[in-house]
Amino acid sequence: MSDRGTLRIQRISGHLGPVPGEGTQREDKVCKLIDTTTCIGCKACEVACVEWNDMPFRETYFDNTYQTMPDTEWNFWNLIKFNEDEHADGSFAWLMRKHQCMHCADPGCLHACPADGAIVQYENGIVDFQQENCIGCQFCVSGCPFNIPKFDPNTKKVYKCTLCSDRVGAGLEPACIKACPTGCLHFGTKDDMKFLAEKRATQLREVSGFKEAGVYDPPTIGGTSVIYVLHNINKTEAYGGLPREPRISQAFTIWKEWFKPIGLFGAMLGFVGVVMHYIFEGPLRTQPTPPVKEIVPPDLGKEN
């Protein structure tokens, strides 16, 4: 991205008036906007995801809901969650939310991962797993506040939504976006999507009567590259367990990044300690030792 930036035009010879394109800025951060209020639960995005990522048919089972399967799987990254939310006045809403990796700005999986290069975050905000470097320890599974990474017991690797980094890198929108028939899925820069989402939320509040409509872009993890427009921003849990304030365990942040190196250093002090002890005090020999000739320096008050 940066090499393209250097070819931006700054000055032009013999050119009258302002330089075309002067002062333009690139917005690298990409974002997927999911407007749950216009989702019809058609599952076209599920199919598109499986198709584009060339994933095999996966068996599932019927558990009296419209949901394809209980949760995402290592080879099923995109799942519409269907939930019935009962209101205080007895009415109820049927909520549909497209569940996939949120591509956090501060990713819990990346913090938790001990393997060199197994999880990367691109400058455009996409968090991607590099399976060739994955060691299958599944710390990312515990690090993720959204329960996204899934372990494949056969390959012993962890997989999740890539936000179609292969398509985005080639200037295409993610497969799920392309498949959406109602236009509830949008893709663009983070700024644009944020603007669009806020505009829609305002419309919902002022025109459609959803007084608590809002945008889900949780600041507790620095925002996400997948944002939602929800009918009720105060009831995120009703959308199939979307955490209201997702957090990364400090076991994977403070502990791993600060305590662990310090703790290792502390343990190695044991080595320094014994070496110093040998130099300063010397060994305890079996008694009786040969007669002492001299103790240097003298008069340390030691009997030998």
Partner 1 sequence: MATSADRFVHRPNAIDRLGQTVVYVGELLRHPVYTRFLHWMVGIFFFLALLSGFGIYLPWIFRFFTPLFGGGPMTRLLHPWFGLGFVFFFALQAINWLQVMKWTPGDSRWMKNIRKYVIRSDSTESPETGFFNGGQKLMFWEIVCGSIAYVITGVIMWFPTTFGRIAVAISYMVHDVSALVMLFGIFFHIYLSTFGEPGTIQAMTRGTVSEAWAWTHHPAWYKAVTGRDPRQAIEQTQSEMAASKRPGRPPEVL
Q: Where along the sequence are the contacts to partner 1 (CB under 8 A)?
A: 113-116, 118, 133-139, 141-142, 147, 151, 156, 249-252, 255-256, 259-261, 263-264, 266-271, 273-274, 277-278, 281-291, 302-304
CB of 304 to partner 1, least distance (A): 6
Q: How far apart are CA 237 and CA 241, in angstroms?
A: 4
Least Å distance between CB 149 and partner 1? Answer: 10
Of the pair 203, 249, the CB lying nearest partner 1 is at 249
Q: Which residue has the tokens 């009962």?
A: 86
Contacts of 65 (CB under 8 A, 6+ apart): 82
Cα distance between residue 262 and residue 92, in whole Å: 53
Report the distance separating Cα 114 and Cα 137, nearest Å: 8
Q: Which is nearer to partner 1, 16 or 300 (CB)?
A: 300
From the CB of 259, what's the least distance to partner 1, in Å? 8
Q: In the bound complex, what is the minimum distance in angstroms from residue 252's beta carbon to partner 1?
A: 7
Residue 263, H or E segment: helix 260-280
Closer residue to partner 1 in complex, CB, 11/302 = 302
Q: Which amino acid is at 253?
A: T
- Closest C-alpha to 48, from 172, 134, 151: 172
**Whether residue 149 has a cis bond before it, omega within 30° of 0:** no
Dihedral sign computed on CA atoms, order 62, 65, 66, 68 = negative
The minimum distance between CB 156 and partner 1, in angstroms, equals: 6
**Closest distance to partner 1 from the beta carbon of 299 (Å):** 14
Write out the H or E segment, with its range, that includes residue 63: none
Rounded to whole angstroms, the maximal C-alpha distance in the chain is 101
Which residue, 4 or 293, has its beta carbon nearer to partner 1?
293
Looking at the chain, how many residues does it have? 304
Instruction: Let me know: does 123 contact 169? Beta carbons within 8 Å.
Output: no
Preceding omega of 145 cis (within 30 degrees of 0)? no
Minimum gap (Å) between residue 260 Cβ and partner 1: 5
With respect to partner 1, which residue has the nearer C-beta, 93 or 115?
115
CB nearer to partner 1: give 15 or 244. 244
Rounded to the nearest whole angstrom, what is the least distance from the CB of residue 277 to partner 1 in the complex? 7
Q: Which is nearer to partner 1, 207 or 267 (CB)?
A: 267
Query: In terms of CB distance, is 18 or 270 closer to partner 1?
Result: 270
Tell me how crowded residue 18 is: count the other CB atoms within 10 A of its CB.
Answer: 9
Pairing outcome for strands 127-129 and 119-121: antiparallel
